[in-house]
Amino acid sequence: MAKLKKTARKTTSAGTPDLQAQAERLSKNLGESAQQVWLAGVGAFGRAQSEGTKLFETLVKEGLSLEQVTRKVAGGKVEAVRDAVESKVGQARERASDTWDRLEKVFEERVQRALRRLEVPGREDLSALIDRVDSLNAQLRKLGGAPTPRKKATAKKPASKAPAKKATPAKRTTKKATRKTAK
């Protein structure tokens, strides 16, 4: 190991002027490159200032044409989407209408069954009864007896009553007793 350290020291001491020269060249090259980058940036800035308005106007024109093309494409797609949505809405309406009709029919059938169980006369029963009453009225007319038309009930005003007297406990018991014996 001692030998390796000595040889390493010899090459570094002998190569020191060579390394310094390389470092100076590298530093000089870096400085020149940095100067060129700086000048390129200044040149780009100057060009952008002089041609900036032209470039801006060109970009606006390109953007306008792109927007028009995009609107045409989107407009066509919007129409297609609108048609698709309208057809789907129409289908949904038809389904809802069919479902509502079926639900209504089921409801009517169940109500009809419940009314039959309760023996409530239906429309047909009532029309049959009306026909029967009409035929009976016709038979009565043939026999000579006219059916008496129903008189409207006249509203009679109740006579003013004298205040009711309270029954005595003795009278109450006699009424109860007569009721029990009557049964």
Q: pLDDT tens, 121-149?
A: 888 889 999 999 999 999 999 998 665 55
Answer yes or no: pTM beyond 0.75: no
| Amino acid at position 86, single letter | E
User: Residue 115 in contact with residue 122, Cβ under 8 Å?
Assistant: yes
Tokens 């060109």 -> residue: 58
The tens digit of pLDDT for each residue in 91-121 reads 998 999 999 999 999 999 999 899 889 988 8
